[in-house]
Amino acid sequence: RLLLALLLLAPALPAPHERGLIFNLDTGELCLQSAQCKSGCCHRHSGLSLARCAPKADEFQKCSPKSIYGVYYECPCESGLSCEVDRTIVGSITNSDFGTCKDPR
């Protein structure tokens, strides 16, 4: 009966859209990893806040270099910009090595 009900309901389900429930998330949606966000940045304000997708940093804005953690306190730079930061081992571990987005040219 369950299988029959699922077969009857399948055509009534909406067609899949571009945005998913887990990946391809828009700015402002909750995330666990930057790979889930369209922008490529899963951002949190503090260690206790929920992370949400956010736009990447513009030129002269605060930034974080790419991280293995996938969640940022400052988003990485937009494409074509580099995050000028003084990298330290402690900063890399604590995800607190922030810099400024600059055009390398």
Query: Is 78 among the domain residues?
Result: yes
Query: Is 40 among the domain residues?
Result: yes
Query: Is 16 among the domain residues?
Result: no
Query: Is 9 among the domain residues?
Result: no
Compute the distance between CA of residue 92 and CA of residue 85 in angstroms, rounded to an integer.
11
pLDDT, tens digit, 9 for 90 and up, residues 56-88: 999 999 999 887 778 999 999 999 999 988 777
Expressed as residue numbers, the domain containing 39 is: 22-104
pLDDT, tens digit, 9 for 90 and up, residues 21-61: 899 999 999 999 999 999 999 999 988 999 999 999 999 99
CATH number of the domain enclosing 53: 2.10.80.10
For the chain, the domain total comes to 1
Query: Is 10 among the domain residues?
Result: no
The bridge status of strand 42-43 relative to strand 62-63 is unpaired
Query: Is 33 among the domain residues?
Result: yes
Instruction: Give per-residue burial for 34-57: e unless 16+ CB within 10 Å, then b.
Output: bebbebbbbbbeeeeeebbbbebb
